[in-house]
Amino acid sequence: MFTPHGNHLIAGAWVPGGTHFPSAPATGPSHDFSIGRVSDVNAAVEAAEDAFASYGSTSRAERAAFLHAIADEIEARAEAITAIGTQETGLPEARLQGERGRTTGQLRTFAEHILQGDYLDRRHDAALPDRAPLPRPELRMMQRPLGPVAVFGASNFPLAFSTAGGDTAAALAAGCPVVVKGHSAHPGTGEIVAEAVLAAITKCGIHPGVFSLIQGGNRAVGAALVQHPLIKAVGFTGSLAGGRALFDLCAARPEPIPFFGELGSVNPMFILAAALTSRGAEIATGWAASLTMGAGQFCTNPGIAVLRAGAEAERFIDTATAALSAVAPQTMLTEGIASAYQDGQRRVAATAGVRELLTTSCDTRTAAPYLYVTEARTWLDNEILAEEVFGPLGLVITAESDAEMLEIARALQGQLTCTLHLDEGDTAQGQTLLPVLERKAGRVLANGFPTGVEVSDTMVHGGPYPASTNFGATSVGTLSIRRFLRPVCYQNIPEALLPEDLREG
């Protein structure tokens, strides 16, 4: 049985804090954890800068071995991670086991990806000494790591988007040391994963400053971390309000740095006429399952369904209502998230022109589904209905025409995903909607549901603001490594001085 000691991990040492906060697990005992201090941030970041001198120049093979070692050490603690993760978050064991597999899988995927070397985007313009009117020097270019990176753990993914999750794995793959600010929703899970990273550091002989974990409990720690002059980039997954505040701090620094924030999205689905007629009930049932998966606590949760008004729409609504009615209340990650869900539900319900289809009751830590319907014009006239409600709340928007559906698409804010449900008879309308939707989202899908994000070379998990703060990046997949790199051009540099990956041999 794993019992947390509650300390920070800073440059290979477990460091106690002066004050503590108690964890608030869904089940099981509470534990005390050190509250982060600005002095802890300074120590961790300075150690990361010291580590960068060696880690930033490691070979791809060395970094790949390190990533594999982290995955091995996480798997060695599999049962203990699942046990404390389920206690802290209330997520079922199967979900934690699957998320652990995704976490180790992306570490291994990134390891294999950097071994291939394509991500370096190496280029070479040979010298042209006889070119007229001016000779051309020899030019070589490749991607180089930025330096120390700050990563903020996410509330809804205690493994895949937290301590050794996607942002950490991408930064380490790129050659950047990482300082993690742990999330107070699952500090024990963060601690045991940090133990796994430390074991890998020791096994591989890596500078211990390459990774530090500072526990939460103090918002000033996050501000100090993103404002530290040695931090060169930030990875964040969380709320729009919290992410925007940190983004503004990054932009206001004497040296502004990139803030890669994945914030919020309602992930609309457009259900076109032929598909609605032929398989509306199937789509409605699938939507209900996707909407309530994990108590709706996924950033890709499809909160809005847009369809043409009429008898088929009514059948869709009836089927979705019945399917959602059968879903029992589920434990949410924290009482704060459950409270925010109820606030969002009340906001939607209080909007004129919105009709309740399914209403339920929730306690301080559980969530049950809600379903509402409104007309297109009401949605278009009320920006509040376009805001994310983090939880299993669905909103059906009925449009009077294809033109009105297009108007809704054009009015969307930036999204992580947009979905088209269409059959062959819907091709013409799909051709009209797709050019609009691809400007709104990082991922556009057909005849599926966006919950479930593949870790692959092609995945884009990002989108125009407010889905993310950098529409040219992704926080999932191998392309995410590029966030923590920058291109450097080497002009007439002797081969002996070049990085190993740029040498002719």
**Residue 498: strand, helix, or coil:** coil
Write down the pLDDT at residue 264: 87
| pLDDT, tens only, 131-152 | 999 999 999 999 999 999 999 9
Query: Mean pLDDT, to the nearest integer, of 357-383?
Result: 92
Write down the pLDDT at residue 504: 78
CA–CA distance, 7 with 156 (Å, rounded to integer): 22
Selecting among 299, 362, 388, 404, the annotated active-site residue is 299
Query: Mean pLDDT, to the nearest integer, of 306-318?
Result: 98
CA–CA distance, 169 with 499 (Å, rounded to integer): 22
Query: Mean pLDDT, to the nearest integer, of 222-243?
Result: 96
pLDDT above 80: residue 323: yes
**What distances in angstroms separate CA 46 from CA 53, 56, 63, 147, 230, one per listed residue?**
12, 15, 21, 11, 7
Backbone region of residue 215 per phi and psi (left: phi > 0; alpha: psi in -120 to 50; beta: other values): beta
Is 299 labeled as catalytic in the residue annotation?
Answer: yes
Query: Mean pLDDT, to the nearest integer, of 88-110?
Result: 96
Q: How confident is the model at residue 216 (pLDDT cuts 50, 70, 90)?
A: confident
Please give the backbone phi and psi of residue 151, each rounded to the nearest 5 degrees, phi first: -125, 135
Q: How confident is the model at residue 443 (pLDDT cuts 50, 70, 90)?
A: very high
Query: Mean pLDDT, to the nearest integer, of 262-273?
Result: 96
- In our burial notation (b when 16+ CB lie closer than 10 A, e otherwise), range 229-253 reads ebbbbbbbbbbbeebbebbebbeee
pLDDT above 80: residue 217: no
pLDDT above 90: residue 407: yes
- Provide CB contacts within 8 A for 371, sequence distance 6+: 320, 321, 324, 356, 357, 358, 393, 394, 395, 396
Q: How confident is the model at residue 360 (pLDDT cuts 50, 70, 90)?
A: confident
pLDDT above 70: residue 505: no
Write down the pLDDT at residue 119: 97
Q: What percent of the chain has pLDDT over 90?
A: 95
Q: What percent of the chain has pLDDT over 70?
A: 100
Selecting among 262, 312, 388, 404, the annotated active-site residue is 262
pLDDT above 70: residue 27: yes
Q: Looking at per-residue confidence, does 217 or 50 come out higher?
A: 50
Strand-strand pairing, 8-10 and 13-15 = antiparallel
Full-model pTM: 0.96
pLDDT above 80: residue 442: yes
| pLDDT, tens only, 462-479 | 999 999 999 889 999 999
